[in-house]
Structure 1
Amino acid sequence: MPLLEYLNISRGLQFDSVSSADIGHLHGRVNHLKYLNVSDCMVNTDNLMDVIAYMINLRSLTVSVYENSDIIDASRWKHLITSSLSHLTVFRFRFGTFDRNEIIRKYEDFQTNFWIKEHQWYTECLLGDQILSQIFTIPYLNDTRLMGLKYVRHFNTRIDDSKTFDNVTDLHLPGKELMTSSGFYFPNIRSALHFESESSIDISQLHGRVNYLKYLNVSDCMVNADNLIDAIGRMINLRSLIVSVYDNSDIIDAFRWKHLIISSLPHLTVFRFRFGTLDRNEIIRKYEDFQTDFWIKEHQWYTECLLGEQILSQIFTIPYLNDTRPMCLKYVRHFYTRIDHSKTFDNVTDLYLTSEELMTLNGFYFPNIRSLIIHSLPVFANESNEERFIRSLKRIMNLSNVKHLEIPLCSQTTGSTILLMILKEAPNLSSLNIFNCSIDILKNNKEICQYTNKMIKKLQFCVYSQSNPCQKPNDISSIHKVFSNVEQMTCHKTQSDSCLFLLNNLPKLSTLTIHFYQSANDSSFSKVKEELSKLKNIFFYEEILRDMKHVKLMAFGFWVSRDDINT
């Protein structure tokens, strides 16, 4: 195994299953590590610190742990650093607990010479009522989640805290928080959301709070058009404005946006939007208003429409805004041919297709698709039909860029040839999501096994309702014949002996996630964990994916060092 220098551990890793005896086995595995980032994990403080103590060459340590007061211990961190981490120069943390008074008390322990003078590791607190209070090193660690302002800042005034939030780029901004917050300044906000609840009186108070904002991204919000436009009118230094709002016809008003830009946004150079309404005829009418010289000649802000039947029709600026959701193709394109629309969908990376849409589709091309979800496949009568299907795929996208594929292969409806054809056209494909029963139709095809064994590093079996006919338990003894080089796998509820079989027969598998439906009295998850805990150097995580009335869709997973698997 190559020596690790960088390790980023995010969400859900647990050290609570590692005994002191197990910790001893880490020596020699992690002592070459130089950079460690432990992000949003649920940890046992003793075990985490014992693990870090073996990382004797660490240069940079970042730890973000919530709901754990034991870890907020300045004396213990000082002892760890001075005794074991002689090369450490960067230490950043964010700890949280619901006891705001405890945060204040422990904050004082971080104000000694060791923290302030020797290392210049300055700290600050965010104090909340009935929410998690935080203590953190300055500057505040940026997060993938939007930051809210339901806090009071607490810090020693002798320290310059003016740049505390320089790294924060995404802000959640309800009106009540905005009007009552003070002492906060965010110079680099790219996205500020939630104008829905603002009244016209509240909007008037925005002046002076947001007039330094340069970049605004309002994404998939339910907004009142009047209040949103009034709010933006206060952002007089905006350079870039991106607005994505669905199911709101009032906001599709070219004349009002033109007036706003001319009167209030003199520095605006980038304006991108995507608006939607169920009335496709209204979209067509309003599209004409965006074809004037102001939009076309002065700013080159070109627009296009996607017209649907009984679904949301859209009008948007070119290129189409990429989305975290896969794009579907139940649309007819509408645009003026005098404008080059050949690159409209260059930014789209995720595509959702049905066979019916694919076979009838015209005028779309997606050169940069990374993730392709094929929701349904027809019953192919012969190989000619399969070849026609592949030609249709190639007509609308560049398959050579596809890295992830979800395809509903099933012995009841189709054979393996269609997947083989895609594998031949998609050399960068490394992640595959299929039905359980697909193994039955793949394992006997030697040619396809050559491709899957070589190409697929990440394998996931589709998770549907328990009544789905393709959700039958698969014969795990065949998986290694088809996917011998898999490194990460997600599968359905399985037993501990099955997990051990996979680990023993898939030589590169190090991460396994199990999705399963769990009722209140179901303890099988604990039994699997108990058995697997016998492996050395194993780390578990768990997550609720969907919480329904009587059952939860759970994800339980683990990472294990390959050196600990006895084949």
Structure 2
Amino acid sequence: MAENVNVQSRRRNSHLLITDSDNPKTFSPIIGFAQEPLLPLADACTPLTDIVYDIFTYVSIALEHTPSHPADDRLNIRLSKLIQNIPYQLNFQNTHKNIFDQLCTTLCSNPEIKHQIYSLYLSNKDTCGQIDRFLSYFSLNDFSNLQSLTLTEINQQNIIKLKLMLPSLTHLSSFHITSHLIDDFEIINTISMANLRTLSIISFHSIQTRLSETFNITNLTIFSCSLENLFYDLFKYFPLLKYLNLRFLSPYNYPLKKTDEIMEKYSGIHLKQLSIGLFKYNFDDLKIFIQQTPNLENFIIYTKDNISMLNASKWEKLIQTSLIYLKSFQFKFGCSRQYADKLILNKIHGFQNDFWCKQHHWYTEYSIEKYYIFIYTIPYLSNTLKLTLDTKRCSKEKHSNVFNKVKNVSLYDDVINNECEYYFSNIQTLELLMTKGNRNFIDMYYLNRIVNLSNLKHLNISEYGNMLTSSLLVEILKQSSKLTWLTINPKDLMLLLNKDELCIYLNRMIRKLDILKYDYPLFNNRNEMNRLCEVFVNIEQLVCYMMESMDVVFLLNQLKQLSMVNIYLSSVNDREYFMNLLEEESHKLNSIYCIEGIDTKAPKLFMWIGRN
């Protein structure tokens, strides 16, 4: 009987499964599930009778506890209630305007959803006023349960509205703001800090007037500050700090108070993680601060030209006396080769003794470049690396996966065509560069020995010149299934658009095209313009330089998938006519646009398009 049930159940659902050819008893994941009709619970569980013992007992219990009357929306009452209470996070970074509009419409027609949103990310980057548009639809006060807010590239226009709304966000626990256009102190002065735990600021001066309210913050990011700020202010005003991220630490950032008085230092007994993006002091200065962080567990630091950081014995003593709980230490220390190489290498070898390798398992290797020598922990901590023929990698023993964290790689052609000891398995951006005077074509065999192209999203060949053949570019595209972004010199691109096989791949794959080269026209004639629009009919983002402002309208009408446009113009001769034409097109395309420097010789047009 059991065997009959077993056979029947397998036969009944066989079309849902793909049989493994090597093992007929093993099945790959279910396919076609969405097309299957809904079944009563007992029928749906029948195929599981040979897997789950006494399954129908559990089915009976489940049915007994299921309401007989469905909810108004025809879902189980508990499921319906669950959906109504799901917390949402909205991230509008790099979002198409039509999606942005649809989500805003949904929020307007279903205002109760706003109470379910706990995280919001708004960005003006490449969207030409997204923040202002969102704030014209909604007040941040409407998001009563908002806990995390990130604002990128805010401008002066946003400040007035934000200053009115931010004080009411009393549940806010995380706040991040980035902008190169304004000082952030106006915004920081208005946020509610009662429940704030995570904060990003440009400098200590951004929060100078709110320092009496920062006691609860545990996660802090500061773009730029001085060691004096850390010595005397950090743990005095942020005593519960656990995570500290310092992007740039240098004496060029003046402290909050300039005084010759002896000031009290405070310890950060709760600090667990410290990351310093670029350190511009010497080791002894750092030592003073590190002694204030006795419970540090994770430490990341980068220096470029500082021989004082290459004293391994001083580091050992500091770690043994002041960092006894340190588990992870990642660093990259650089030193100018104005010092004798032998001196630098002797210091580097001090980081490869038993204390580093056997006791802590902090392995290192070093690279010798034309002007610098760097020592770094494994894995390499930066996500960006540029290789020249002068770069030589040196390691005491070979380690795998050294550069797994590297996402952006720049390679010179002479590096590719030589034996290279580097391998990058997870790159997302690849820039190919041509060594001056070198006329050798890139060999795909050697390129594959250096990079894995399967995760590549952005290919930059704008500086490689016309040495890139169409056949090589086709091969790169074939191996880069995730590639959607191409940066290329417009002159080189136009020479390649007569290659049919290449154009087929470009048409299928490329969604963002960057062909910006100042003072170089994108087209010489309308035929070239038509050809580009034919090949790249599917692109969604375009960055370019155009001599004729009227050609902008032609592009907007031909490239119907465009969502974001950055066009640099040579000049605008008939300003009034062009602005009227642009206004008309903007209305038709449901777009937001802005022009920077309309009266200059090089105005910039930005558009965020949401075609209906």
Regarding TM over 0.5, the answer is yes
- The partner residue of 2:534 within 481, 499, 503 is 481
Query: For 1:44 and 1:270, how far apart are their aligned partners in 2?
Result: 40
Aligned to 1:148: 204
Q: What are the equivalent positions in structure 2 for 1:445-484 lying under 5 Å apart?
A: 445-463=499-517, 466=519, 475-484=528-537
- AA matched with 2:473: L
Cα distance 1:394–1:448, how it changes in 2: closer, same or farther (>3 A)?
same
Aligned to 2:192: 137
Aligned to 2:328: 270
Aligned to 1:312: 372
Aligned to 1:321: 381
Aligned to 1:333: 393
Q: Is the 8 A contact 1:403 1:428 kept in 2?
A: yes
Rg: which structure is higher?
2
Q: Per-residue CA shift, 1:529-567, capped at 9, x if unaligned?
A: 6532322232235779xxxxxx9987541111121xxxx
Cα distance 1:239–1:329, how it changes in 2: closer, same or farther (>3 A)?
farther
Query: For 2:121 and 2:386, how far apart are their aligned partners in 1?
Result: 30
Partner-residue secondary structure (3-state), 1:304: strand
Aligned to 1:222: 280
- State yes or no: 1:284 paired with 2:345: yes
Cα distance 1:63–1:357, how it changes in 2: closer, same or farther (>3 A)?
closer
- State yes or no: 1:242 paired with 2:300: yes
Aligned to 2:610: 561
- The partner residue of 1:342 within 376, 400, 413 is 400
Q: Per-residue CA shift, 1:410-446, capped at 9, x if unaligned?
A: 8855542221121112121111000111332222211
Q: Is the 8 A contact 1:206 1:231 kept in 2?
A: no
- State yes or no: 1:531 paired with 2:581: yes
Cα distance 1:424–1:322, how it changes in 2: closer, same or farther (>3 A)?
same
- The partner residue of 1:52 within 138, 146, 171 is 138
Q: Is the 8 A contact 1:169 1:191 kept in 2?
A: yes
- AA matched with 1:194: L
Q: Which runs of 5+ in 1 are unaligned?
A: 15-22, 78-92, 94-106, 545-550
Aligned to 1:401: 455
Aligned to 1:293: 354
Q: What are the equivalent positions in structure 2 for 1:65-104 lying under 5 Å apart?
A: 67=156, 70-71=160-161, 93=166
Cα distance 1:552–1:166, how it changes in 2: closer, same or farther (>3 A)?
farther
Query: For 1:37 and 1:252, how far apart are their aligned partners in 2?
Result: 41
Aligned to 2:56: none
- AA matched with 2:560: P
Q: Is the 8 A contact 2:383 2:405 kept in 1?
A: no
Partner-residue secondary structure (3-state), 1:151: helix
Cα distance 1:203–1:335, how it changes in 2: closer, same or farther (>3 A)?
farther
Aligned to 1:97: none
- The partner residue of 1:260 within 290, 307, 318 is 318
Q: What are the equivalent positions in structure 2 for 1:544-559 lying under 5 Å apart?
A: 556-559=605-608
Cα distance 1:123–1:69, how it changes in 2: closer, same or farther (>3 A)?
same
Partner-residue secondary structure (3-state), 1:212: coil
Alpha-carbon shift at residue 312 of structure 1 (Å): 1.2
Query: For 2:360 and 2:401, how far apart are their aligned partners in 1?
Result: 18
- State yes or no: 1:356 paired with 2:414: yes
Cα distance 1:161–1:313, how it changes in 2: closer, same or farther (>3 A)?
closer
Query: For 1:511 and 1:493, how far apart are their aligned partners in 2?
Result: 16
Aligned to 1:88: none
Alpha-carbon shift at residue 276 of structure 1 (Å): 1.1
Query: For 1:324 and 1:529, how far apart are their aligned partners in 2?
Result: 41
Aligned to 2:76: none
Alpha-carbon shift at residue 524 of structure 1 (Å): 8.1
| RMSD of aligned Cα (Å) | 4.7
Q: Which moved further from structure 2: 509-518 or 140-149?
A: 140-149
Alpha-carbon shift at residue 329 of structure 1 (Å): 5.8
Aligned to 1:547: none
Q: Is the 8 A contact 1:148 1:171 kept in 2?
A: no
- AA matched with 2:345: I
- The partner residue of 2:220 within 137, 144, 168 is 168
TM-score, normalised on structure 1?
0.71
Q: Is the 8 A contact 1:203 1:230 kept in 2?
A: no
Aligned to 1:500: 553
- AA matched with 1:52: F
Q: Is the 8 A contact 2:429 2:459 kept in 1?
A: yes
Query: For 1:130 and 1:351, how far apart are their aligned partners in 2?
Result: 33
Q: Per-residue CA shift, 1:347-389, capped at 9, x if unaligned?
A: 11111111112112421111111110001289999xxx85x61
Q: Which moved further from structure 2: 135-144 or 502-511?
A: 135-144
Aligned to 1:440: 494
- The partner residue of 1:38 within 122, 140, 150 is 122
Partner-residue secondary structure (3-state), 1:168: strand
Alpha-carbon shift at residue 58 of structure 1 (Å): 10
Q: Per-residue CA shift, 1:250-277, capped at 9, x if unaligned?
A: 1101100000000110110111111111
Aligned to 2:309: 251
Partner-residue secondary structure (3-state), 1:486: coil
- AA matched with 1:71: K
Query: For 1:222 and 1:524, how far apart are their aligned partners in 2?
Result: 50
Partner-residue secondary structure (3-state), 2:550: helix
- AA matched with 2:161: I
Q: What are the equivalent positions in structure 2 for 1:115-126 lying under 5 Å apart?
A: none
Aligned to 1:103: none
Q: Is the 8 A contact 2:331 2:377 kept in 1?
A: yes
Q: Is the 8 A contact 1:371 1:404 kept in 2?
A: yes
Partner-residue secondary structure (3-state), 1:250: helix
Alpha-carbon shift at residue 235 of structure 1 (Å): 1.3
Query: For 2:406 and 2:238, how far apart are their aligned partners in 1?
Result: 36
Alpha-carbon shift at residue 190 of structure 1 (Å): 3.2
- AA matched with 2:368: L
Identical-residue share of aligned pairs (%): 25
Q: Per-residue CA shift, 1:8-34, capped at 9, x if unaligned?
A: 4569x99xxxxxxxx9xx968975796
Of Structure 1 and Structure 2, which has the larger fraction of its residues in helix? 2
Partner-residue secondary structure (3-state), 1:500: helix
- AA matched with 1:499: V
- AA matched with 2:421: G
Cα distance 1:72–1:305, how it changes in 2: closer, same or farther (>3 A)?
closer
Query: For 1:143 and 1:329, how far apart are their aligned partners in 2?
Result: 42
